[in-house]
């Protein structure tokens, strides 16, 4: 039920309004400014009916104070016929409507109902916007595409369990961001999140890094040191690139996962550990098992709940969202503000295959912002590899979709390469041929075949 605050120094008016609205609203009354502000502090109303003329602080002062406090409730001001100009001033200060005394009952009821319905609608719109924003982002992950929405739902489900998770995905897709999201949504969120890049640590040091060591365990072990398992106690241990772990360490890792017990290097005392394991890899672990480089029993232990991150080329509709997010982040970090990308530049980004995934996209945008002085980035600002790759990708997609024949695609691709080389060399055919790795005669034959000529020149005259 909506909550309406009536502020009037006349008890009769308070009672009249309470009787008028009690069937549809919870009515709270106040006789002066102090009581009104105290009632607002106790519980934010959905609507305020405010008398402008009161002893002490006036209704206008109360209205100003409500604005300063950021109270979102609309305000209907009550005013005598002689003070309508004051009501107009109240409207300028943010009042939603006004009613003159003595007020007409049905007219006031309609105003109250309209403003309450409008407020409920605005709150619902805000809720939906929050929901949409939340669904477009989960932790550091960004995406509104169907594959990302499904990934978000999977993360939310798996976060509540205790099971080990194996995240599969290409390099640059955001595997650590997925692991962090799982941790932040889990009952272990108050505990530490400890990440280990197994590929970045030499095999000879990885065991000590994971399990710790006692003093004197090896030549440089001058002090006792706890490992990442102990550091992650009560939280989550993220083992990135787990497929790179050497077989000897895999055996000790398996024991730790099975028995929840570790031993420091050089130690003999078992140490109980309470951690949740989230692992990630871009390798084909099944092939590694077949090759004998990864233990099958460890694989089954870490692969209780598998999660797959889609590559960027599989969710191209997320690229504009990721670009906007990257530009906003860079501006917040002090980079030159950029309004966005031209439609041509955005089309190239969406046509490129992104073998380096989100990380490559972020690098491309950061490079473009750093090197360009334009407010709106154009294709010329994008990395050459992205532009060229996008054009190739576009032709390939058109062929696969049946919109372009194979021979025509080959002709278009070859003619584009020739034109780019000629333009880059100021239409000097010798230099263009060298750039393309063909003879000048071959270049000239192809130029004639595709009708390529320097603008303003006669294609039939020798160059």
The tens digit of pLDDT for each residue in 306-322 reads 999 999 988 989 999 99
Nearest residue to 63 (alpha-carbon basis) of 96, 31, 26: 96
pLDDT surpasses 60 at 437: yes
Return the pLDDT at 124.
Answer: 76
CA distance 103 to 105: 6
- Domain positions in the chain: 2-128, 141-308, 314-450
Structural tokens at position 15: 């009672």
pLDDT, residue 223, reads 80
Residue where the block lists tokens 């233990």:
295
Averaged pLDDT for residues 149-176: 93
What digits encode the pLDDT tens for the residues 185-197?
A: 999 999 999 999 9
Q: What is the mean pLDDT of residues 357-367?
A: 95
Check: CATH 3.40.50.300 for 141-308?
yes
Confidence at residue 100, expressed as pLDDT on a 0 to 100 scale = 85
Residue 252, token pair as written in the block: 């000790």
CB 70 within 8 A of CB 24: no
Can you read off the two tokens belonging to residue 66?
Answer: 């409500």
Q: Which residue has the higher pLDDT, 87 or 277?
A: 277
Q: Looking at residue 311, what DSSP letter applies? A: P
Nearest to 364 by CA among 378, 349, 375: 349
Runs of H (alpha helix) within 333-437: 343-351, 357-371, 384-400, 406-424, 429-436
Bond from prior residue into 102 cis (ω within 30 degrees of 0): yes
* Cα–Cα distance measured from residue 6 to residue 29, given in angstroms and rounded to the nearest whole number: 5
CA distance 29 to 11: 9
Q: Are 281 and 241 in contact (CB under 8 A)?
A: yes
Nearest CA to 273 among 185, 206, 210? 210
| Spatial distance between the Cα atoms of 317 and 143, rounded to a whole number of angstroms | 8
Please give the average per-residue pLDDT across 357-378, as a whole number.
94
pLDDT for 91 equals 86
- State yes or no: pLDDT of 460 exceeds 50: no
pLDDT of residue 234: 95
Flag whether the pTM goes above 0.85: no
427 vs 365, more confident = 365
pLDDT at 423 over 90: no
- Under the banding of pLDDT at 50, 70 and 90, the label for residue 267 is confident
Q: Which of 6-20, 47-61, 93-107 has the lowest mean pLDDT?
A: 93-107
Mean pLDDT, residues 24-42 taken together: 92
Measured distance CA(113)–CA(4) in Å, rounded: 11
Mean model confidence pLDDT for the chain = 87
| 72 vs 242, more confident | 242
Residue 112: its H or E element? helix 105-136
List, for residues 47-68, the tens digit of each pLDDT value. Answer: 999 998 888 898 899 998 998 8
pLDDT at 240 exceeding the cut of 60: yes
Residues in contact with 83: Cβ distance below 8 Å, sequence separation at least 6, in sequence order = 52, 53
Place domain 2-128 in its CATH homologous superfamily: Response regulator (3.40.50.2300)
**pLDDT tens-digit readout, 332-344:** 998 888 999 999 9
The pair of three-digit structure tokens given for residue 168, joined into one six-digit string: 């599969």
What band does 121 get if pLDDT is binned at 50, 70 and 90? confident
Task: Return the CATH architecture of domain 314-450.
Answer: Orthogonal Bundle (1.10)
Question: Could you tell me the pLDDT band of residue 145, with boundaries at 50, 70 and 90?
Answer: confident
Residues 61-83, mean pLDDT to the nearest whole number: 85
Predicted confidence (pLDDT) at residue 429 exceeds the cutoff of 60? yes
* Sequence-ordered alpha helix ranges (H) in 22-94: 33-42, 59-68, 84-92
pLDDT of 249 = 93
Residue 175 above 50 pLDDT? yes
Could you check whether 2-128 and 141-308 share the same CATH topology? yes
Structure tokens at 27: 């009515």
* % residues pLDDT > 70 (the chain): 91
Q: Report the percent of the chain where pLDDT is more than 90.
A: 50
């Amino acid at each position: 039920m909506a909550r309406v605050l009536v502020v009037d120094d006349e008890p009769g008016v308070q009672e009249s309004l309470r009787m008028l609205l009690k069937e549809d609203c919870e009515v709270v009354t106040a006789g002066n400014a102090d009581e009104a502000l105290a009632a607002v502090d106790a519980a934010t109303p959905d609507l305020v009916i405010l008398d402008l003329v009161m002893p002490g602080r006036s209704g206008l002062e109360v209205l100003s104070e409500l604005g300063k406090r950021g109270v979102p409730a609309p305000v209907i001001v009550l005013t005598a016929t002689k003070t309508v100009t004051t009501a107009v001033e109240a409207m300028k200060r943010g009042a939603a409507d006004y009613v003159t005394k003595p007020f007409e009952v049905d007219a006031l009821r309609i105003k109250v109902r309209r403003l309450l319905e409008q407020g409920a609608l605005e709150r619902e719109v805000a809720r939906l916007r929050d929901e949409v924003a939340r669904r477009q982002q989960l932790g550091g992950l960004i995406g509104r595409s169907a594959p990302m929405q499904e990934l978000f739902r999977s993360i939310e489900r798996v976060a509540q369990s205790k099971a080990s998770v194996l995240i599969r995905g290409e390099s640059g897709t955001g595997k650590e961001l997925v692991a962090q999201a799982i941790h932040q949504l889990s009952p272990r969120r108050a505990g530490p999140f400890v990440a280990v890049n197994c590929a970045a640590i030499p095999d000879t040091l990885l065991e000590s890094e994971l399990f710790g060591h006692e003093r004197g365990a090896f030549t440089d072990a001058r002090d006792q040191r706890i490992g990442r398992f102990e550091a992650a106690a009560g939280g989550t241990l993220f083992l990135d690139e787990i497929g790179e772990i050497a077989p000897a360490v895999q055996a000790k890792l398996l024991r730790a996962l099975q028995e929840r017990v570790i031993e420091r290097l050089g130690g003999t005392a078992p140490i109980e550990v309470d951690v949740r394991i989230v692992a990630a890899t871009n390798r084909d672990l099944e092939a590694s098992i077949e090759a004998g480089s990864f233990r099958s029993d460890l694989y089954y232990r870490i692969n209780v709940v598998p999660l797959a991150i889609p590559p960027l080329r599989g969710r191209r509709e997320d690229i504009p969202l990721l670009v906007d997010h990257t530009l906003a982040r860079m501006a917040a970090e002090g980079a030159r503000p950029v309004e966005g990308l031209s439609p041509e530049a955005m089309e190239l980004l969406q046509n490129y295959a992104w073998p380096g995934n989100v990380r490559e996209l972020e690098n491309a945008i950061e490079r473009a912002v750093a090197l360009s002085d334009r407010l709106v980035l154009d294709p010329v600002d994008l990395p050459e590899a992205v532009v060229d790759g996008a054009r190739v990708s576009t032709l390939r997609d058109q062929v696969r979709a049946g919109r372009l024949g194979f021979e025509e695609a080959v002709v278009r691709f070859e003619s584009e390469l020739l034109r780019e080389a000629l333009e880059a060399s100021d239409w000097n055919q010798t230099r263009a041929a060298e750039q393309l790795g063909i003879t000048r005669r071959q270049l000239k034959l192809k130029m004639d075949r595709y009708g390529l000529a320097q603008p303003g020149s006669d294609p039939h005259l020798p160059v």
